[in-house]
Amino acid sequence: MRSFLPVLTVVSAIVAIWYGACVWLNAAWTRDQAARAGEEAGFAEILAGSFSQERPVLPAPHQVAAELWDATVAEELFGRRGIVRTGTLSNRSLVYHAWVTLSATLLGFAFGAGLGILLAVGIVHNRAMDMSVMPWAIASQTIPILAIAPMIIVVLNSVGLSGLIPKAIISAYLSFFPVVVGMVKGLRSPDAIQLDLLRTYNAGRGATFWKLRLPASMPFLFASLKVGAAASLVGAIVGELPTGAVAGLGARLLTGSYYGQTVQIWAALFAAAIVAAGLVGLIGWVERRTLARMGMAR
Amino acid sequence: MRDDGALMAETGGSDRTGPVIEASGLGLTFQTADGPVRALTGVDLAIGRGEFVSFIGPSGCGKTTFLRCVAALEEPTEGRLSVNGMSADAARRARAYGYVFQAAGLYPWRTIAGNVQLPLEIMGYPKAERAERVRKVLELVELSGFGNKFPWQLSGGMQQRASIARALAFDADILLMDEPFGALDEIVRDRLNEELLKLWNRTGKTILFVTHSIPEAVYLSTRIVVMSPRPGRITDVIESPLPRERPLEIRDSREFLEIAHRVREGLRAGHAYEV
C-alpha cells in the first residue's frame, strides 16, 4: 500500500504525457480538415479532434482502453461470434488472438527453457561443450530474428510442419539463450569451499550436481526464466508475421498496419504487454514460493 | 552404532597402532605464472592416534597447504604421506576424515539438520540412522533444538558449530580444522575452544588444527607445530606438558606462558631473516 501513491504518480505522468503527445501528433489532421473546408480550427476543435479520430497517428489512452474493452469483454459477451452466443472464442476478439500467441509462447518457452537448461548442464560438465557451444549460442542471437523467422517457417512448412510448431520453434530460439547464460552462471556459482567440502565426502558428479549446483542455481534460473519468457512472446509474435496474418497478436498487428488501424495496433500491443506481464508475474510467484520453501527468501 | 564395525574396517581400523598420519620429506611446489612457488618443503611429521596437533605460523607458511595435502585436496610434489596407513587420496575416498573450513559454508537452502545430514546422504546412510546421527551430533555441539532453523537464523559461532557437527556426523576418526574460529570474536572463540576440548576428550578423535593464534594453539594442543614461510617448512615441534583437562584459567599458569613464549620465539626465529 505504501507504494500505491508513487506508482499512481508515475502512471498519471505517463498518461498526461501521452495525451499531450496526442495533441501534438494529431493536430495536423484536424487543421488539414478545417483548411480543406475553408475554416480555421480553434483550440477546442483541435483538442477534441486529437482525441476522437478513427485513425490517429497516436491514439489517445481512452481510445485504446475502449478498443481493448470492445475487443475482449464486449466481443465475447455480447458479440455475434462471442463465446456467449457460439460457445467458442470469437475470431475477432483479442482474447482469441492472445490465446493463439500464448499457446505458441508457452510451448516455445518450454522448449527453449528445457534446451537452455540441458545446454547449461552440458557446458558446466563437459569441457568440449564449454568451448564449443557458447560461441554458437551467442552467434545465434546476433542474427536478426526478423530475418531468420521466415526461413524457419518456410523450411518447416516444406517438411509438413505448420501452425503452432514453427512459431514455438522461433519462440524457443529466442528464449533458450538467456536461460543458458543464467544457468551456466548459476551452476558455477558454488564457491571453492563448497566444492572442496563435497570432495572431502568423496561425492561424485551426480551428487555434486543434485545437492549443490542445482539448488545453488535456482535464483539464477528464475531471473533468466523471466527474461526468457518475455523473449519467448516476442518470438511467437514475430513468428506470426510471415504466416499471412491468420491468427494471433502478430496477425492483429499486421492487419492493423495494412488498414491503418492504429487503435487496433495499440490495443494488440497492450494485449501483448499484458500477456508478458502475466507470464513474468507467474514466474515471479513460482520463484517466491520456491525460494521461500528453500529458506532463501528472508 | 550399528555400522561402525564395517566402517572402521573400511577406514583402516581404529585398533591399528603407529602413526595415523605420517609425512616424510613432504613438499609441494605450485607452478604459477610468476614461476614455481614452494608452498611446503621437507616436512617430516608423525601424528599418533588421539593427538591434538596445532599448526601455527604466519600466512604463507604452508599450514593450510599441509592440511589440504592430508585431505588430498592438494597433491604433494615431493616426499611421502600416509593417512591411516594408505595414501591420502585413498583415505579421502574411504572417508577417513571430516574437514572443517575457515567459513562454515552451510548451504543456505538446507536447515541446520539438513546441512549436518548432507554427508550422510552422500555416503548413503539409511534414513532412520541419518536422523539419529544428526540428533546425536547436534547435541554434541549444543545445537539441539536448532535443527529446523536455516543458517541465516543462527549467529556466526553457531553456524561454525553446525559445520563441526557436519564433520562429526559420519564416523571419521580424524578431524581436520582449518582456522575454524578465525572469523569469530574472542569471547565466542574462547567458548568454542573449551567445547572443542571437551568434544575431543569425549570422542578420542585425532585432530589437526590450523590457527594463527598462539593462545589458541597452546590451550588446545598436545603438540604444537611451528611453521615459517618462504619456503613453507616446520621450524619447531613443541610437546605440551599441560594435562588433558584444561580449564580456561590454565592460560594464566606458568607452564602455559612458558610454552606460549617458546612458540613466539619459534615464530620470531622463522621470521628473523626477513627483518
Regarding whether A228 and A172 lie in a shared domain, the answer is: yes
pLDDT beyond 60 at A135: yes
Smallest CA–CA distance from A206 into chain B, residue: B122
- Percent share of chain B, pLDDT over 70: 92
Inter-residue contact A268 to A253 (CB < 8 Å): yes
Q: What is the mean pLDDT of residues A139-168?
A: 87
Q: What is the mean pLDDT of residues A43-69?
A: 87
Cα distance between residue A40 and residue A72, in whole Å: 39
Q: Look at residue A69 and tell me if it is in a domain.
A: no
Q: Is some CB atom of chain B closer than 8 A to the CB atom of A199?
A: yes
Read off the pLDDT of residues A238-260 as tens digits, 9 standing for 90 and up: 888 876 557 888 888 888 888 88
Which strands sit side by side in the sheet containing B97-100, from one edge to the other? Answer: B97-100, B174-178, B206-211, B52-56, B223-228, B233-239
Task: Tell me the nearest-neighbour CA distance from B96 into chain A, angstroms.
Answer: 9
Q: Look at residue A81 and tell me if it is in a domain.
A: no
Task: Tell me the nearest-neighbour CA distance from A190 into chain B, angstroms.
Answer: 10
A47's grid cell: 483538442
Contact B101 A197 (CB under 8 A): yes
Cα distance between residue B161 and residue A35, in whole Å: 86
Regarding whether A261 and A210 lie in a shared domain, the answer is: yes
Contact B152 A194 (CB under 8 A): no
Regarding whether A240 and A144 lie in a shared domain, the answer is: yes
**Confidence class of residue A298 from pLDDT cuts 50, 70 and 90?**
low
Regarding whether A164 and A266 lie in a shared domain, the answer is: yes
pLDDT beyond 50 at B88: yes
Task: Tell me the nearest-neighbour CA distance from A24 into chain B, angstroms.
Answer: 55
Q: Is B106 in a helix, a strand, or coil? A: coil
Q: Look at residue A120 and tell me if it is in a domain.
A: yes
Q: Look at residue A284 and tell me if it is in a domain.
A: yes
Average pLDDT for chain B: 86
Inter-residue contact B98 to B171 (CB < 8 Å): no
Quote the domain boundaries for residue A177: 94-293
Q: Is some CB atom of chain B closer than 8 A to the CB atom of A203?
A: yes
Regarding whether A100 and A224 lie in a shared domain, the answer is: yes
Q: What is the mean pLDDT of residues B44-50?
A: 91
Regarding whether A135 and A203 lie in a shared domain, the answer is: yes
What part of B 45-84 touches A (C-beta under 8 Å)? 71, 73
**Residue B80 exposed, middle or buried by CB count within 10 Å (0-12, 13-18, 19+):** exposed
Regarding whether A164 and A35 lie in a shared domain, the answer is: no
List, in sequence order, every residue forming a beta bridge with B210; answer none if it has no partner. Answer: B55, B178
Q: How many CB pairs under 8 A join A and B?
A: 53
Task: Tell me the nearest-neighbour CA distance from B44 into chain A, angstroms.
Answer: 24
**Residue B160 exposed, middle or buried by CB count within 10 Å (0-12, 13-18, 19+):** buried
Q: Report the alpha-carbon angle B67-B69-B71, nearest 5.
A: 70
Q: Which domains does chain B have, with CATH numbers?
A: 16-96+172-275 (3.40.50.300), 101-171 (no CATH)
Regarding whether A98 and A40 lie in a shared domain, the answer is: no
Q: Look at residue A67 and tell me if it is in a domain.
A: no
Contact B110 A295 (CB under 8 A): yes
Q: What is the mean pLDDT of residues B116-138?
A: 92
Regarding whether A225 and A110 lie in a shared domain, the answer is: yes
Inter-residue contact A233 to A184 (CB < 8 Å): no
Contacts of B109 in chain A (CB under 8 A): 215-216, 218, 294-296
Regarding whether A269 and A141 lie in a shared domain, the answer is: yes
Which residue among A193, A203, A218 sits closest to B122, beta carbon to beta carbon?
Answer: A203
Read off the pLDDT of residues A69-93 as tens digits, 9 standing for 90 and up: 988 888 888 887 878 788 778 778 8
Q: Look at residue A270 and tell me if it is in a domain.
A: yes
Q: What is the pLDDT of residue B146?
A: 93
Contact A200 B92 (CB under 8 A): yes
Contact A199 B98 (CB under 8 A): no
Task: Tell me the nearest-neighbour CA distance from B229 into chain A, angstroms.
Answer: 23
- The CATH number that applies at residue A233 is 1.10.3720.10
**Residue A192 amino acid letter:** A
Contact A200 B150 (CB under 8 A): no
| Segment of A145-159, B44-58, B259-273 carrying the highest mean pLDDT | B44-58
Q: What is the pLDDT of residue A1?
A: 67
Stretch among A5-14, A32-41, A188-197, B203-212 having the lowest mean pLDDT? A32-41
**Residues in contact with A190: Cβ distance below 8 Å, sequence separation at least 6, in sequence order:** A212, A213, A216
A53's grid cell: 479520430
A131's grid cell: 568451448
CA A35 to chain centre: 43
Q: Which residues of B174-195 are buried (b: 16+ CB within 10 A; e: fewer)?
A: bbbbbbbbeebeeebbbbbbee
Q: What is the pLDDT of residue A118?
A: 95
Contacts of A198 in chain B (CB under 8 A): 122
Cα distance between residue B258 and residue B250, in whole Å: 12
List, in sequence order, every residue forming a beta bridge with A205; answer none if it has no partner. Answer: none
Q: Is B98 in a helix, a strand, or coil? A: strand
Q: Is A177 in a helix, a strand, or coil? A: helix
Regarding whether A154 and A27 lie in a shared domain, the answer is: no
Regarding whether A279 and A216 lie in a shared domain, the answer is: yes
Q: How many CB atoms lie within 10 A of CB A121?
A: 18
Q: Look at residue A65 and tell me if it is in a domain.
A: no
Q: What is the pLDDT of residue B33?
A: 87
Contacts of A191 in chain B (CB under 8 A): 105
Q: How many CB atoms lie within 10 A of CB A294?
A: 16
Contact B122 A212 (CB under 8 A): no
Contact A201 B122 (CB under 8 A): yes
Cα distance between residue A182 and residue A186, in whole Å: 6
Residue A227 to residues A174, A213, B148: CA-CA distances in angstroms?
A: 10, 21, 34
Q: Look at residue A171 and tell me if it is in a domain.
A: yes
DSSP H helix total and E strand total for chain B: 9, 10
Contact B122 A198 (CB under 8 A): yes
CA A217 to chain centre: 24
Q: Is B2 in a helix, a strand, or coil? A: coil
Task: Tell me the nearest-neighbour CA distance from B108 into chain A, angstroms.
Answer: 6
Contact A212 B92 (CB under 8 A): no
Q: Cα torsion for B3, B6, B8, B14, to the nearest 10°? A: 110
Smallest CA–CA distance from A292 into chain B, residue: B109
Q: What is the pLDDT of residue B11?
A: 42
Could you give the number of structural domains in chain A? 2
Q: What is the mean pLDDT of residues B212-227?
A: 91
Residue B254 to residues A84, A139, B190, B258, B260: CA-CA distances in angstroms?
A: 96, 73, 19, 6, 10
Q: Is some CB atom of chain B closer than 8 A to the CB atom of A200?
A: yes
A159 vs B12, higher pLDDT:
A159
pLDDT beyond 70 at A283: yes
Q: Is A170 in a helix, a strand, or coil? A: helix
Which of B74, B86, B110, B122 best probes binding to A when mutated, by most A CB atoms within 10 angstroms? B122
Q: Is some CB atom of chain B closer than 8 A to the CB atom of A295?
A: yes
Contacts of A209 in chain B (CB under 8 A): none
Gap between the terminal Cα atoms of chain B: 55
Q: What is the mean pLDDT of residues B80-96?
A: 89
Q: What is the pLDDT of residue A176?
A: 93
Contact B109 A294 (CB under 8 A): yes
Smallest CA–CA distance from B176 into chain A, residue: A200
pLDDT beyond 90 at A233: yes
Contact A295 B118 (CB under 8 A): no
Short-list B117, B160, B105, CA closest to A195: B105
**Residue A213 amino acid letter:** R
